[in-house]
Chains A and B, each alone.
Chain A
């Protein structure tokens, strides 16, 4: 394989609502990246585009829609999409296009325009939940994060205060980023801890903002890169990995898929001791705890130990392991795919020693960037480095990106924009439950919970499937499991998916059923007040009266404590 380097980077300003179209945002970033590399579009052999769900921009063909603004006219072009992991996957696509010898110069562009999606871009995320047994419960994207965060905090006995220091660090770091949406030099941990509780333990300032923006980089083969610049930043390793799509079957406290992706990238990069050999990290931080979770997945800290490192200042720009010196998604903003590629751009600037006000001290030689997405189970990792650290001649005067553009509109301006068009995708769906889930629903109507069993690995699978995804063979038999179990993790959610306050909080939980091998499913808790809920609480299903059951996950009204002394009256 040929060596590949990053030789240019550019980006728009990240804003809450951009006047520019997605094409125009892509152009601004792509033009800036080409200018930074000192080349014209005629030097580009192929273009790689990255953008997350079509339903954000409301353009249900986002790949080719963005092609012209991405410089793909008349060139080989393909759009990559692995959810939130897209922004760090699209440079991997650029890498293999060059490493394979198919191109010498590739323009890599990532874009997102989330403001188009009304009333709230969370609506586009609803479809990541299982249509048959999860969406019926009225889920909210925040549930997934809150459930994972609670599990992570509880398993390790973590202090929310330590986690909140990540939000503070990133918003302070972003104060030195000319393109940032939420840079704030004077924010404190108290501000984060005092912000509105959305879905406990997730609070408003734990979360990155909805954003519009685009980022682009130029990648080149070794012979071209060394002619274009004295300071190419090499792609030393790439990795990507997916865990089970049955998210309620995983132990959410640790991102196994990130570790797998990191191993792949480190092996390729010759990194055997990441804690010594990685000098800068740009882990994916859509929520503050995710940065810590991912640093552990990247094997830069032991499990459960990243929060105390955050508390002790290790992750600060001048700490032992600067993490998100850019300001990350929490500070710079989170136009999904663009935010991931922004991390690659940051490593490019940092490793060239030209990050200006954001420059980490010393002579960093190697960094790692990572993103995460799909249904919480894809990890994408890129290791980048130089041979010997930044040159002493590198300019630290100007802070990149230079004069980033994008026209920010206020809510009122956005509503009043002349020529704006409103539309909806006027379609409905009917999802067939399928064989396995169909059998599961029929049993629910009869007041039973059933699983399928794989005789080869011996697992009893809930939700049931007709095939074992590990052994990759048909499952062998149906078995009954108990309609009771323990709370694997839970949240107390105060907002709906479109972020309106709920009259009564919902208590989503992942229930580990007795008799199932790993986990179980998502449901709600009832007849319990929050002070009596904990991970490990023994619960049982409360069924609808038999005459009201229809063969739906809602035939179970909720799960309640098995101990009557812990129940509240009614339900």
Chain B
């Protein structure tokens, strides 16, 4: 019996532009170290990162509300294994952080030893050399 498996791949890679909303957010983060959101006054919702539309009513929004840099942990997890199931040398803590002034949460790293709890106040730790990336935020530490 000959092998009947045929190997193959999808030989493409991707380049994602951040879009208008995220660009405003990332540039504000890089240049001014602030968290830029967009607020829909009709729905009473402030989105962070900024968006150009309100998903609830499809109104056009202009980025312009600054939120944070402190916020509250809405939920968190502590990872002991990597994406292939391999044990990690150091635990990784990830949190959903609701920045002060925002109605949405941001997924990012939690820095420090913990223990973590929902409701804990945290503060963003920003990189010194910022490039306009979500990694310009190093993570969030207890406030």
A binding-site residues for B, Cβ under 8 Å: 17-21, 23-24, 27, 30-31, 34, 40-42, 55, 57-58, 68-69, 71, 73-74, 115-119, 121, 123-124, 126-127, 131-132, 135-136, 407, 409, 414, 417-425, 427-434, 437-438, 441-442, 445, 550-551
Contact = CB atoms under 8 A, between A and B. Distances in A.
A21 B7 contact: no
A27 B53 contact: yes
Contacts of A550: 2
Contacts of A442: 2
Interface string B31-64: 0000000000000000000001101111010000
Contacts of A18: 17
A118 B12 CA distance: 6
Contacts of B15: 115-116, 118, 414, 420-422
B53 A31 contact: yes
A24 B20 contact: yes
Interface string B73-110: 00000000000000000000000000000000000000
Interface residues of B, number: 35
B10 A427 contact: yes
B19 A24 contact: yes
Contacts of A438: 4
Contacts of B132: 418-419
B18 A417 contact: yes
A126 to B, nearest CB: 7
Nearest to A58: B14
B8 A418 contact: no
B114 interface: no
Interface string B1-31: 0111111111111111111111100110010
B5 A431 contact: yes
Given A69-B53, A123-B11, A21 B4 contact: no
Given A414-B15, A425-B14, 16 more contacts: A17-B17, A24-B19, A34-B58, A68-B53, A68-B55, A69-B53, A73-B55, A119-B13, A419-B18, A419-B133, A420-B17, A421-B133, A424-B12, A432-B4, A441-B2, A445-B2
Closest 5 CB pairs of A and B: A58-B14, A21-B19, A123-B12, A424-B13, A418-B132
A521 to B, nearest CB: 15
A269 B19 CA distance: 42
Contact of A431 (B8, B12, B131): B8
Contact of A23 (B5, B19, B60): B19
